[in-house]
Chain A
Amino acid sequence: MANLKTVSKKSKAQSMGMHTEVLTGRTQQKFFNPDEAENFYYFGTYDVDFNKRTELDVKDMTAPEANKEIDNLMSQGYGTIVIKNPQGKHSLGVGILNKLNLIFEGSLGYFGMGSCDGPIVRINGRVGWSCAENLMAGKVVIEKNAGSCFGAAIRGGDLICKGSVGARTGIDMKGGTIIIGGDAGAFTGFMMQRGRIIILGDVGINLGDSMYDGTIFVGGEIGSYGSDAVDAELTKSDQDWLKRKLKVAEIGENFDVSKMKKIVAGKKLWNYDNLEPTEKKGAI
């Protein structure tokens, strides 16, 4: 259990005025001491070689079996894993806290790639509800469509769907970027607290309902605005950022970002200035 103490010696993050407390608990010392960079990784993660590639056919595996095997392959140093025949199974690829190139040749069911931190994932199919929920870092690219609650509560990383997504995309998101190539359903950005959502197509009703913070960019038509969602000026820096993000996401080539609408929270409902753990790492 970490103890919060105020000490005289300031870390880099503190010097920058980002926070005043110092985490002195055993686990925090282990993970967040800037002098021990090698300990920044989670337990159970591995040194992998991206050039070391293998395939895994999960047709006859349950999700826990498949996920254990992915872990086993990472422990053997495989840095690029191609998953064959996912066939819409739920909860594939969850809890990967490693740098990894992961490719799914097919579609995933619910909760695919949930609670991940670091992998680069390409899914050559569609995904069901709650894809990449709680993503901390990394990049997840879906080539086709996605279900509802896409990117629920993500805290970091890039989540990209080249097709259309269901309702409540980015619900409760606390950071990161979600990019949608097609249309998005109702309640997109519902209760979002941080981060950015980019939708190149149309979006359904109640966009950004009860959003606390964060930014939503929409290229198409908006069904209706939710509570607290208001238009904001699309600045030059916004446009530059959008161009860069879309290029990195390999999506929306030649899309005219200058015509996008920018939606933000109309009022500040709560104070979300406390840093998230990933940001603490970044600050250090």
Chain B
Amino acid sequence: MCGIAGLIHRGKSSNVGSELQGMLQALKHRGEDSTGYALYGDTDGKNFIMRFKVGENVGEGSSSIMEDVSVYDERKKIVDQTLAEMGAKVVKEERTLPYSLRYELDYNVKDLLEFSQRIESIPGVEILSMGKSLEVIKDLGNAKMVCDRYSLDKVVGTHAIGHARMATESGVDIKSAHPFWGYPFSDVSVVHNGQLTNYWNNRRVLENKGMRFMSECDSELIAVYIAEKMRDGATLEEGMKASLTGLDGVFTYFVATKDSLGMAKDTMAAKPLVLYESDDLVAMGSEEIAIRSVLPQEIDTYDPFDGEVKVWQI
């Protein structure tokens, strides 16, 4: 059992970091092994923002191996060197935690796949997100802990999706935490609640087509599956609709892009989702209490039906 939440402001920006924190914290009983945020912030759109990690958080319940901080330093140094070799200029650098970094890059990316492959060829390095608006922040602990750790409550943007995880099918670590970046597409992220039962079959097929998996978490398949559809020319909505039959199992998931937010629910409607929709705001979550954290007044909400796909624009 995990919890997912998302919201999109239409036609304006808001304090999405704080709002999503409230929504996810309301769902913490659904799992607090890890919590992740995909925030679409207000930026000037000039630079790429790369969130990446050079190690794991080895806290209570973590399944990762403890490493010395000097190892992280060494990996960071190689990342910096690789970026320089590719002609990417680091405009701004933030190292919130020893293993977690945020770079703003002045770089004319010709091929994001090639760029990502080079960075991730460095052992122990994983790009959490890459985009001109998207920032994926995920770590162990509940929503408030992660929000406080990364000072997310002040992030202003248009939309966001997030995930409160109870680890069931893979480890308690950052690499298995949601959201997943829709590698190698700029500004695409995914969160999922459920279980996918044809994960390995699909993974083998997609890997043969050149797609990359970083974890053994079944949810990552959704991001890769949709990314592959989009690579072949499908729209986000078309990719999501294809997933209703292409993915087997039970799922409710959200996908966000730079200017849109979508939801899909499996054909058995086995996983919960409550949705609030108005002209200027769409908010949704595994439980109504998530929506109540941003809309305490009496509102009309509903459960989307089985096999439903919806996409909203900012």
Taking a contact as CB atoms under 8 Å apart, the answer to whether B268 and A163 are in contact is: no
B245 an interface residue at 8 Å Cβ cutoff? Answer: no
Shortest beta-carbon distance from B284 to chain A in Å: 13
Instruction: Decide yes or no: A107 and B301 within 8 Å by CB, A128-B274, A128-B288, A186-B269 being known contacts.
Output: yes
Of the candidates B289, B300, B306, the one whose C-beta lies within 8 Å of that of A126 is B300
Most buried by A among B272, B296, B300, B303: B303
A-contacting residues, B253-272, CB 8 Å: 267-270, 272
Taking a contact as CB atoms under 8 Å apart, the answer to whether A147 and B303 are in contact is: yes
Interface string of A96-124 (1 = CB under 8 A from B): 00000000011101100000000000000
Shortest beta-carbon distance from B51 to chain A in Å: 32
A-contacting residues, B281-295, CB 8 Å: 287-289, 291-292
Give chain A residues whose Cβ lies under 8 Å from the Cβ of B213.
none
Secondary structure call for the A interface: loop
**Contact count band on A:** 20 to 34
Give chain A residues whose Cβ lies under 8 Å from the Cβ of B303.
145-148, 165-167, 185
Shortest beta-carbon distance from A122 to chain B in Å: 14
How many contacting A-B pairs (Cβ < 8 A)? 74
Taking a contact as CB atoms under 8 Å apart, the answer to whether A129 and B272 are in contact is: yes
Instruction: Decide yes or no: A185 and B269 within 8 Å by CB, A128-B274, A128-B288 being known contacts.
Output: yes
B200 an interface residue at 8 Å Cβ cutoff? Answer: no
**Contact count band on B:** 20 to 34
Shortest beta-carbon distance from B288 to chain A in Å: 4
B-contacting residues, A208-235, CB 8 Å: none
Give chain A residues whose Cβ lies under 8 Å from the Cβ of B280.
none
Shortest beta-carbon distance from B121 to chain A in Å: 45
Taking a contact as CB atoms under 8 Å apart, the answer to whether B298 and A166 are in contact is: no
Interface string of A136-156 (1 = CB under 8 A from B): 000000001111100000000
Known contacts A107-B288, A186-B269; can you find 7 more A-B pairs with CB under 8 A? A88-B287, A90-B287, A105-B298, A128-B287, A147-B303, A163-B302, A167-B270
